[in-house]
Structure 1
Amino acid sequence: MRKLIASTFASLDGVMQAPGGPEEDPTGGFTLGGWMFAHREDESMDISASGFDARNRELVLGRKTYEIFAAYWPCQPDDHPIAKIFNATRKHVASRTLTALHWNNSTLLQGAVDSAIIALKAQPGPDLQMIGSGNLIQTLQSASLIDEYNVWTFPLVLGRGKRLFGEMARPSALRLVRSQVSTSGVVMSTYVPGGDIRLGSFAGAEPGE
């Protein structure tokens, strides 16, 4: 069975909204779009290692991320290495409002998204890669369908905006399998599901016990 991998950029306080530019996603009055710009020339940040270029993978995208990508990547030069991959690879889109997709090799997921992802994972083919797509990540995390998380944590506190995990996230443990710090202070971490959270207490025994 192929894996479902989620890769995302996030601030230290967990905000993942509009890392690439002011116009990327200003919903909710978010005014700090483009917050990862200062790190753009950090050559120690290998996007391929964390799946951000979707090399040898198929994309799974939420509606908003699909619309952002579909407006940008087809307009890039034909020899742009990431554009070549994104434009050619299969793209599976989760949306309750879109009825047609115009970006090459894109299809809408049918029915309940968790059931559609289960069916996709059971099909032969390369691993499935999510990039951004915060609402979709939260939905699939709650259904325990994500097999790997690549989270790049930037040394910023944004204070407001869409967060990687919200109040409806399923409580669960994660196991860190890889971590690296870029020269500009970005912590690039890879996690896999680690089962249930193990609870305990540092409080001592009650007197007399």
Structure 2
Amino acid sequence: MRRLIASTFASLDGILQAPGGPQEDPTGGFALGGWMFPYADDSMDLSAAGFDGKDRELLLGRRTYQIFEAHWPYQAHDDPIAQSLNAAKKHVASRTLSTLHWNNSTLLQGDVVAAVTALKSTPGPDLQMIGSGNLIQTLQAAALIDEYNVWTFPVVLGRGKRLFDEGATPSALRLVQSRVSTSGVVMSTYVPGGDVQPGSFVTTEPSERELDRRKKMANGTW
């Protein structure tokens, strides 16, 4: 069984939309595209987090695929990231595309959860997701993602597409690695950690005021 790894850039408030430039994804009136640009520096190892797809097969959502398809084949031939992404085998999840123009690209057929489950069971290198927020949310809900590389940038955007929305399946993650770039980007790697385990720091009997507060919450008057 090969692993499925998701790597993404995110703001401090969890926005992953259009990190690379203003025209990358302005849907919904998002006007802050390119927000990661001021923080990029040489201390960031893109390859270690899978952002170049080296030695892996790519699994991409339709929008991320189209962004990449229109960009990476047209970069300099000696660009190492372009070399890796252009050469990689690419699996694309889309309900609307019928033809793919980027070399080594194949459309997933049928239900995406079933298709990715079958793909993981085939021989081959690990599968690498880059961006593809909608697809991440679908596969997170199906517990198919084995590792998350989340690079959190020190910026608050306040609007835009989020890494996890209200439909995310509650689950715990375990931090296995983290370091900070010279520009303050926190580069963290997580693996699934099972179910969320709620608890409470309150060990005494609730006071009369607390009981009154809970009653107001139940009545919708708090």
TM-score (norm 2): 0.92
Distance 1:14 1:206 in 2: 37
Deviation per CA, 1:129-185: give whole Å up to 9, x if none: 000000000000000000000000000000000000000000000000000000100
Q: CA deviation at 1:57?
A: 0.2
Check if 1:23 corresponds to 2:20: no
Deviation per CA, 1:6-54: give whole Å up to 9, x if none: 00000000000000000000000000000011022x1111101111011
Which residue in the other structure is 1:111 paired with? 110
Q: Give the gaps of 5 or more residues in structure 2.
A: 207-222
Show structure 1 runs of 4+ deviating over 6 A.
none
Which residue in the other structure is 1:190 paired with? 189
Q: CA deviation at 1:204?
A: 2.1
Q: CA deviation at 1:77?
A: 1.4
Which residue in the other structure is 2:69 paired with? 70
Larger radius of gyration: 2
Which residue in the other structure is 2:220 paired with? none
| SS of residue in 2 equivalent to 1:64 | helix
Check if 1:51 corresponds to 2:50: yes
Q: How many residues align?
A: 206
| SS of residue in 2 equivalent to 1:139 | helix
| SS of residue in 1 equivalent to 2:71 | helix
Percent identity, please: 75
Distance 1:10 1:77 in 2: 27
Q: CA deviation at 1:203?
A: 1.4
Matches within 5 A, 1:1-209: 1-40=1-40, 42-206=41-205
Q: CA deviation at 1:205?
A: 3.1
| SS of residue in 1 equivalent to 2:31 | coil
Q: Give the gaps of 5 or more residues in structure 1.
A: none
Distance 1:16 1:118 in 2: 25
What is the one-letter code of the residue matched to 1:86?
A: L
Q: Provide the aligned C-alpha RMSD in A.
A: 0.8
Distance 1:68 1:145 in 2: 24
TM-score (norm 1): 0.97
Deviation per CA, 1:68-104: give whole Å up to 9, x if none: 0000001011111111111111000000000111110
Distance 1:53 1:85 in 2: 6
What is the one-letter code of the residue matched to 2:110?
A: G
Distance 1:31 1:192 in 2: 32
Distance 2:188 2:30 in 1: 26
Distance 1:97 1:9 in 2: 26
